[in-house]
Chains A and B, each alone.
Chain A
């Protein structure tokens, strides 16, 4: 049921979505905007669906798991982007702080917490298969007030 309703599954996704089209969903671009964009949570499914091209099955499966969990929690990421290393990254933003859950080619998910207002080193950890919920909570704790449906 979960998988069938997901926009990550083949049935609901146009097989060859260009990244240019995807970008409009991903960062809420508009032709008139210039420079770095602000972080506005947008619909999760439409964003993730555009990212499956050229992503490994393991990476996609890991991203699916995050998508499902966020949906269950009524939460959403500010951005979902292809990382330059070839993975999929869920970005959660609050001011000068951000958290990230990144799925790599091997299907490994890594959590990251960073506060750019200080020189303190980022906190990173490998997210265990049963540690996704606590990873999302850890990110939300770090960022303070929750976003999305929690707002």
Chain B
């Protein structure tokens, strides 16, 4: 059984995610295609080592990305509606107690798992998140 979720993920806690070589370009960094929105999975450094994100089920994803909640992108503005904002949410699951997600929600509203942002907003959010990720270990 997974542990109880922490109410917050500290601003300075490193979050790790695996990445494949095809999603990293020299001179650019991490491509938007390497992440997903409106929820993107990470491992919390409080509960795991960085290398734990590299798993046999995804052999090509042998690189490691890193970001902290403090480094998450600013809200994504929209012309006629509330902006979307990023936040980190603890989300322990069986069998990964370290699992958390960087999520997107409409400012001032609760996160809704079923809400699908406009595809263009989603792509912009992926790009904004991807460009802020640091490559902790380069994929090969």
Using a CB–CB distance below 8 Å, which chain A residues touch chain B? 19-20, 23, 26-27, 29, 33-39, 79, 81-86, 89, 91, 93, 95-98, 100, 102, 104, 108, 110, 112, 114, 116, 121-122, 124-126
**Interface set of B (CB-CB < 8 Å, partner A):** 20-29, 31-37, 40, 59-60, 118-124, 126-128, 131, 135, 138-140
Do the beta carbons of A34 and B120 come within 8 Å of each other? no
* Contact of A114 with B21 in the complex, beta carbons under 8 Å: no
> For the complex, what is the distance from the CA of A114 to the CA of B132, rounded to whole Å?
13
Cα distance, A82 to B34, chains bound together (Å): 9
What is the chain B residue whose CB lies nearest that of A114?
Answer: B127
Known contacts A20-B60, A124-B127; A116/B28 CB under 8 A: yes
Task: Tell whether, in the assembled complex, residue B22 and residue A98 are in contact, meaning their CB atoms are under 8 Å apart.
Answer: no
Q: Please report the C-alpha to C-alpha distance between residue A23 and residue B23 in the assembled complex, in whole angstroms.
A: 11
Expressed in whole angstroms, the Cα–Cα distance for A35 and B29 within the complex equals: 11
Interface of B is mostly: mixed
Give me 4 other A-B pairs in contact (C-beta within 8 A), A96-B28, A98-B31, A112-B32 excluded: A36-B24, A37-B24, A91-B31, A114-B131
Q: Is the CB of B127 within 8 A of A95?
A: no
Cα–Cα, bound, A123→B87 (Å): 22
**In the complex, what residues of B have CB within 8 A of residue A84's CB?**
23, 33-36, 40
